[in-house]
Structure 1
Amino acid sequence: MRGTEPRRPHLPPGAVRPWPRSFADRLTAPLPGLRAFARFAREGALRPRPEGLADIGRLPYAPGPLPLVDHRTVAVTWAGHASWVVRIGGLTVLTDPVWSRKILGTPARVTPVGVAWSALPRVDAVVISHNHYDHLDAPTLRRLPRDTPVLVPAGLGRWFTRRRFRRVTELDWWEGAEVGGVRFDFVPAHHWSKRSLFDTCRTLWGGWVMTDADGQRVYFAGDTGYGHWFERIGDRYPGIDLALLPIGAYDPRWWLSDVHCDPEEAVRAADDLGARRMAPMHWGTFLLSAEPILEPLTRARAAWEKAGRPREDLWDLPVGASRVLAR
């Protein structure tokens, strides 16, 4: 897909279109084969070692009230993992909402959800990056009214319509839709999709650029490795005010480097994007890989300082904390 020219048609919510049977041609690296699975099983590097869990009690957790906003205010609150409450253009937007204590195949979350579901205002839109269980959580989504606008990758709409969601918009890379005056553009990521034994890459994966009427921009990367797409996204969407970037689930690198950024790569991605600020995510919530539990944060802070970026522009929030974007 490197040579494909970006397309940015405006699509109304609820647009339904046919999609290819597979999106495997969008992969930027081959998926692991049998030899890789055998090595992974042999090494057993699936979770942090006991010494890597020693700091589990120091994971940052500081829930607080959601900030008061108006239609010209942008604010973000980290609920944990890749789940954010984004307030933009007068809307309340949830990204990859996972409010469940446990997801399939993974130990229970090690930090509670940072925002009580009952504390949420009306949810005006939901964006989904891809269909992995730590990003697409059926029990959480069942809590939403079925007329909630949901924006999803190509091929994933059927999952929602089967659950009686009525305002589902599927998008391909570089396409966008508008909800309540806020533009949502679906952009590429270095990742993949799978939810069952027989649906590998049947649906697309990606991130979201949200732009309000004043041109304020928040980029939500979803789940991604490092690569050429970040520079392309920055070229197409200049002036990103805040990039929500994943920094965890990266060890061992031989297994995960193609699909998950490490902290240094996340900082590099923020530079490629031309993002003014970066907020780390996708760490300290679920035990998905082998790195020590606090290592993503300490490495991200060190990489940010080494890059010469202002400390106040690294929004390394505790779970449950909020930050308002100064105009």
Structure 2
Amino acid sequence: MKLKRFANIDPIEQHTSLKQFKRWRQERIRRLKLKDYSFTVPNVEPDIAYLEDNRKQPSITWVGHSTFFIQLGGLNIITDPVWSTQMALQKRLAPPGIKVEDVPPVDVVLISHSHYDHLNINSLRKLIGTRQLLVPAGLGTKLRKKGFIHIKELHWWESVMIHGVKFTFVPSQHSTRRSPWDTNSSHWGGFVIERPATKTGKVVSRPEGKAKAKASDKGAAEAESRAQIASAAEPLATRTTSFFNELGAAERPILSESPTIYFAGDSGYFQGFKEIGKRFPVEVALLPIGAYEPEWFMGPQHITPEQALQAFDDLDAKWFVPMHYGAFKLADDTPREALDRLDAERMKRCIADKRIIVLPHGETWRLSGK
């Protein structure tokens, strides 16, 4: 039987040929010798006791790369579980924010696609709990062969409800492969996590007057950003190391008890971000900012920090949590470069810095004030 192959919404050139890969590898040998990896994303002591006891309030904890421990609607959710100490021949740059053996029982696992930096079988096996796996279409057979039972495959825009929490698989621009023979045999995408109904049973919709509020806040945001630019006497590369001290020490914003969270998985820039923003009132966007260099090779599948901010705008989201950087040398950019470019573009776009939540590994952002 002919193997089903999945495709992106927009036809793009996938840079997957052996010739292109060899060119990148040759360039990389020269380029990495000039790279500075002295800066690493810091780790903070995780609040395991809180995570174990909390079944009521929403929270987000960054484990590292694309792995988050999310609590919403009484569920413990893990995204793209990877606790690997290395990727290919490259050692991990910073340890995971939570040790895999310390992760509380997991109810739901969201897997965006089959690439090894997003799906590690050994890591998945070490998680405890019921572990209902929500995976892209075409990936279920591989996981069943590995011994996993609770699996639900989803196509783009399909949803599943688990104990009052709705999970919708949404498009991204990417590809998949775990061997030379299974290219694009399973799908790829992101997930929107939401609690779509209030206690009265009314569907939660985008708040009325949001456009007006956004317009009225624009002037203040622009003034704040201009002041930041004027006062930024030290170079961005120097300020990067203070991101976590300044922003991490500050009080995190308090959201609703039922925030809508968008986990992008892995993606190049595409118009699908706008469609996701039209369909869902995204409050928190977990977006990748790393593995983009060289852009001629990585561009079709990985967004740059500048494109991540464009996606944030397309989604019309309120808060942006950067991910997919700081753990592995998947491409030629460094964690510092990714953060520097993100901050430079943020100021250029006059986006208030408080809307970018730069988490260290292991920190829990408690989304509700209760």
* Structure 2 counterparts to residues 1-327 of structure 1, below 5 A: 21-24=4-7, 26=9, 28-32=11-15, 33-43=17-27, 45=28, 49-56=32-39, 58-66=40-48, 67=50, 72-103=56-87, 105-145=88-128, 147-212=130-195, 213-214=197-198, 216-237=259-280, 239-326=281-368
Counterpart residue number, 2:225: none
- What secondary structure is seen at the aligned counterpart in 1 of 2:180? coil
Q: For residues 36 and 114 of structure 1, what CA distance do their matches in structure 2 show?
A: 35
CA apart distance, 1:28: 3.9
CA apart distance, 1:21: 1.1
Q: For residues 263 and 127 of structure 1, what CA distance do their matches in structure 2 show?
A: 24
Q: For residues 3 and 167 of structure 2, what CA distance do their matches in structure 1 show?
A: 23
CA apart distance, 1:70: 5.1
- What secondary structure is seen at the aligned counterpart in 2 of 1:22? coil
CA apart distance, 1:203: 0.3
Q: For residues 168 and 155 of structure 2, what CA distance do their matches in structure 1 show?
A: 9
| Structure 1 residue runs without a partner (length 5+) | 1-18
CA apart distance, 1:178: 1.2
Q: Relative to structure 1, is the Cα distance of residues 25 and 166 closer, same or farther in structure 2, using a 3 angstrom cutoff?
A: same
* CA-to-aligned-CA distance 1:118-148 (integer Å, 9 cap, x gap): 3222101000000000001011011135842
Provide the identity percentage: 37
Q: For residues 315 and 336 of structure 2, what CA distance do their matches in structure 1 show?
A: 26
Aligned length: 305
CA apart distance, 1:286: 0.4
Q: Is the 8 A contact 1:147 1:166 kept in 2?
A: no
Q: Is the 8 A contact 2:82 2:120 kept in 1?
A: yes
CA apart distance, 1:46: 6.2
| Structure 2 residue runs without a partner (length 5+) | 199-257
- Scaled by the length of structure 1, the TM-score of the pair is 0.87
Q: Is the 8 A contact 2:171 2:190 kept in 1?
A: yes
CA apart distance, 1:20: 6.7
- What secondary structure is seen at the aligned counterpart in 2 of 1:203? coil
Give the RMSD, CA atoms, in angstroms: 2.2
Q: Is the 8 A contact 1:188 1:205 kept in 2?
A: yes
Q: For residues 195 and 248 of structure 1, what CA distance do their matches in structure 2 show?
A: 21
Q: For residues 142 and 128 of structure 2, what CA distance do their matches in structure 1 show?
A: 16
- Scaled by the length of structure 2, the TM-score of the pair is 0.77
Asked which structure has the greater CA Rg, the reply is 2
Q: For residues 65 and 131 of structure 2, what CA distance do their matches in structure 1 show?
A: 22
